[in-house]
Chains A and B, each alone.
Chain A
Amino acid sequence: MIRLEHLSKTFKKRVALEDLSLEIRQGEIFGLLGHNGAGKSTTLGMLLGQIYPTSGEAFIRGVSVQKNRQKALDKVGAIFEEPAFHDYLSGWDNLRILTSYSAHLPDEELREAVHFTGLEKRIRDPVWVYSHGMRQRLALAQALLPCPDLILLDEPAEGLDPEGIYEMRKLIVRLNRERGMTVVLSSHLLAEVEQLCDRVAILNQGRLIFEGRWNELTADPSPAHRLEVDDWTKAGVILQKLGISRPTAETISLAPGGDMADVVSALVKGGVRIRAIEPHRRNLEDIYLKAISAAKSA
């Protein structure tokens, strides 16, 4: 569905993206993960033909965005982090105006998109009274017209409340499952990407540092756990005997193939009282570090 070939972009002297090559398959939800400034929005901008690459080319359905933008974007919808509308016009007018840049659509199709995003009751209100969540829904409604098969979402959950994030996630899954749309989602929120995406690419300072399935990235041969005990001196000796490392004061990291039950049993037998034990959830930073070190060693 999407093929990026050696895409690079330099803004004045700042390298925003460096030699990015990627393939995104039809029907998948693909995540572009990275901190702010990692190059995610630049990548999406080049996919939409809004940013010209310094070198390289982007293809959608085999059509070059740089050479034949109109044909390449024929069935593409997009949402940005902060969707912008003409605030003095109603949601309906905004929808009508934006879709007219693609095709002359009957009102029925517009109404269907409004219904899908649940905006029926407020669609005639001026956009300046809309909450951030409603603006995102309106952005999604316009992206769904006219019937795209690829949708690009740039930080769609940014600024939404938990309920809004949940609703947006449900809508994205529905688009993928019910309408068979390919979704490319850019985000810096690990949980969002983790819950939605089949495959991910991680960008760091404009470079691709990982591309593959999410479980390849999160699979950890030596899982870490947070431990709370009454006597760390005693516990430390036992853990050392078991060959278990302690990356931080309260975190232990099991050896590959190690079982936490054995650790708990040894600690209890050694007279250590365990107050709490929980798997340590890694954050984006951990995953970055892991991906960066993997890239370096490769």
Chain B
Amino acid sequence: MSLFFLQMRNELHKLFARKRTYLGFAAFVAVEILLLLLLNLPKPKAGFRKLIEQNGYGFDQYFSGATLGLLMLMWTTFLLGALYLALVAGDVVAKEVEDGTLRMILCRPISRLRVGFLKYAACVLYTFALTFFIGITALVAGLLYCGWGGLFAIAPLEQLLAMHEAWPGLWRYLGALPLLGFGLVSITSLGFLFSCCEMKPAAATILTLSIFFFDSIFRSIPYFESLRGWFMTTHMTLWLRVFEYHIPWWRIAEDVTWLGALNVTFALVGLAILQQRDFKA
């Protein structure tokens, strides 16, 4: 095994061996179950029935496991995913600086750039692992509760309202997961940037979350509608475009490029800060 992959494996080991990781994953499952129960309360259920039937489709066919899975996925990633990723990425360098373990690493003949890159790459892999975990568990929970059926996708801000048959719906759901992961990497990158600065891990997490929520809130204010394309969270919804009847590949490519550039910028600025800093007791 090359040294890089050995270091990468160890970096992931550090990340996944923490108790917090398992507790976090358990929290996601708990939130999914809670959302599942809430969505099945008579009032929300009646709302969905009205919405589906107004569009000329059968409620029993489209209020299915896939539909519930998608709804759980949307809410869980927004409520908890952002928080959790900001926590992990905000900790990744800052916590090691605070604990003193980074100084132990920097006694060794390894460049700061490489240490930083390993940590960033581990966070990105973690983001995708978390996304797939949430996506699959939400789908499984939905299927177990409501069974097989078509997929009803709704996101008012993205002007998305679409119905898909069971199999095409499932494929779109699975295809959306990597794009969701890619969108969430923006939070990870922002968290990593702040984590490299001279601040406490909690401060890095709070700053990341503040920016994410401000961006998210301002984007939804009608006054800023003309500027919507400049908000990070607008591009982070690229995964929802997979559910449109005709997938706008060009628009997805544009979002991927926009987010890619943003992520690379955040990561490079973070690495540059890491390179310049003094590490003392």
Q: Which residues in A have their C-beta under 8 angstroms from that of B7? A: 100-101
Is A102 located at the chain interface by the 8 A CB criterion?
yes
Interface stretch (choices B41-49, B73-81, B105-113, B146-154): B105-113
Contact B106 A84 (CB under 8 A): no
Compute how far the CA of A48 lies from the CA of B104 in the bound complex, rounded to whole angstroms: 10
Q: Which residues in B have their C-beta under 8 angstroms from that of A85? A: 101, 104
Given contacts A88-B17, A88-B19, A97-B10, contact A73 B100 (CB under 8 A): no
Q: Which residues in B have their C-beta under 8 angstroms from that of A71? A: 109
Compute how far the CA of A77 lies from the CA of B108 in the bound complex, rounded to whole angstroms: 8
CB-based A-B contact count at 8 angstroms:
92
Contact B14 A78 (CB under 8 A): no
Is B13 located at the chain interface by the 8 A CB criterion?
yes
Minimum CB distance partner of A70 in chain B: B109
Contact A100 B3 (CB under 8 A): yes
Contact A101 B105 (CB under 8 A): yes
Is A66 located at the chain interface by the 8 A CB criterion?
no
B102: min CB distance to chain A, Å: 8
Is A96 located at the chain interface by the 8 A CB criterion?
yes
Is A56 located at the chain interface by the 8 A CB criterion?
no
Contact B104 A80 (CB under 8 A): yes
Given contacts A51-B280, A80-B281, A104-B3, contact A98 B104 (CB under 8 A): yes
Query: Which A residues, 25 to 61, have Cβ-Cβ distances below 8 Å to chain B?
Result: 41-42, 45, 48-52
Is B99 located at the chain interface by the 8 A CB criterion?
yes
Contact B107 A86 (CB under 8 A): no
Q: Which residues in A have their C-beta under 8 angstroms from that of B123? A: none
Contact B14 A45 (CB under 8 A): no
Compute how far the CA of A52 lies from the CA of B112 in the bound complex, rounded to whole angstroms: 13
Contact B103 A80 (CB under 8 A): yes
B106: min CB distance to chain A, Å: 5
Is B279 located at the chain interface by the 8 A CB criterion?
yes
Interface footprint category on B: 20 to 34
Minimum CB distance partner of B118 in chain A: A101
Candidates A51, A86, A93, A98; contact of B108 at CB < 8 Å: A98
Candidates B10, B104, B108; contact of A83 at CB < 8 Å: B104
Given contacts A70-B110, A89-B14, contact A98 B281 (CB under 8 A): no
Query: Which residue among B1, B100, B106, B108 has the maximum number of chain A CB atoms within 10 Å of its CB?
Result: B108
Candidates B99, B106, B276; contact of A50 at CB < 8 Å: B106
Given contacts A88-B19, A101-B105, A101-B115, contact A80 B6 (CB under 8 A): no
Is B246 located at the chain interface by the 8 A CB criterion?
no
Contact A102 B108 (CB under 8 A): yes
B7: min CB distance to chain A, Å: 5
Compute how far the CA of A101 lies from the CA of B1 in the bound complex, rounded to whole angstroms: 14
Minimum CB distance partner of A47 in chain B: B107
Is A19 located at the chain interface by the 8 A CB criterion?
no
Compute how far the CA of A96 lies from the CA of B6 in the bound complex, rounded to whole angstroms: 10
Per-position 1/0 for B51-94, Cβ under 8 A of A: 00000000000000000000000000000000000000000000
Q: Which residues in B have their C-beta under 8 angstroms from that of A142? A: 104
Compute how far the CA of A191 lies from the CA of B63 in the bound complex, rounded to whole angstroms: 78
Is A82 located at the chain interface by the 8 A CB criterion?
yes
Contact B103 A98 (CB under 8 A): no
Minimum CB distance partner of A98 in chain B: B104
Contact A42 B108 (CB under 8 A): no
Query: Which residue among A69, A76, A84, A104 has the maximum number of chain B CB atoms within 10 Å of its CB?
Result: A84
B96: min CB distance to chain A, Å: 9
Compute how far the CA of A80 lies from the CA of B107 in the bound complex, rounded to whole angstroms: 10
Is A289 located at the chain interface by the 8 A CB criterion?
no
Is A211 located at the chain interface by the 8 A CB criterion?
no
Query: Which B residues, 102 to 132, have Cβ-Cβ distances below 8 Å to chain A?
Result: 103-111, 115
Contact A50 B278 (CB under 8 A): yes
Contact B19 A51 (CB under 8 A): no
Compute how far the CA of A80 lies from the CA of B280 in the bound complex, rounded to whole angstroms: 11
A69: min CB distance to chain B, Å: 7
B48: min CB distance to chain A, Å: 44
Contact A88 B18 (CB under 8 A): yes
B28: min CB distance to chain A, Å: 21
Compute how far the CA of A73 lies from the CA of B10 in the bound complex, rounded to whole angstroms: 21
Per-position 1/0 for B251-272, Cβ under 8 A of A: 0000000000000000000000
Q: Which residues in B have their C-beta under 8 angstroms from that of A98? A: 104-105, 108
Is A261 located at the chain interface by the 8 A CB criterion?
no
Contact A51 B107 (CB under 8 A): no
Contact B107 A77 (CB under 8 A): yes
With A42-B280, A85-B104, A88-B18 given, name 10 new contacts (CB 8 A).
A41-B280, A45-B278, A50-B107, A50-B279, A51-B279, A51-B280, A73-B108, A77-B107, A86-B17, A100-B10
Report 30 cross-chain contacts, Cβ distance below 8 Å, ordered by A residue. Answer: A11-B278, A42-B280, A45-B280, A45-B281, A50-B107, A50-B280, A51-B279, A51-B280, A70-B110, A72-B109, A73-B108, A74-B109, A80-B104, A81-B281, A82-B100, A84-B101, A84-B104, A85-B101, A85-B104, A86-B101, A89-B17, A98-B104, A100-B6, A101-B108, A101-B109, A101-B115, A102-B109, A103-B3, A104-B1, A104-B6
List the 4 closest pairs (A to B, CB-CB), nearest first.
Answer: A84-B100, A78-B107, A101-B108, A73-B109
Residues on A lying within 8 angstroms of B by beta carbon are: 11, 41-42, 45, 48-52, 69-74, 76-78, 80-86, 88-89, 93, 96-98, 100-104, 139, 142-143, 152
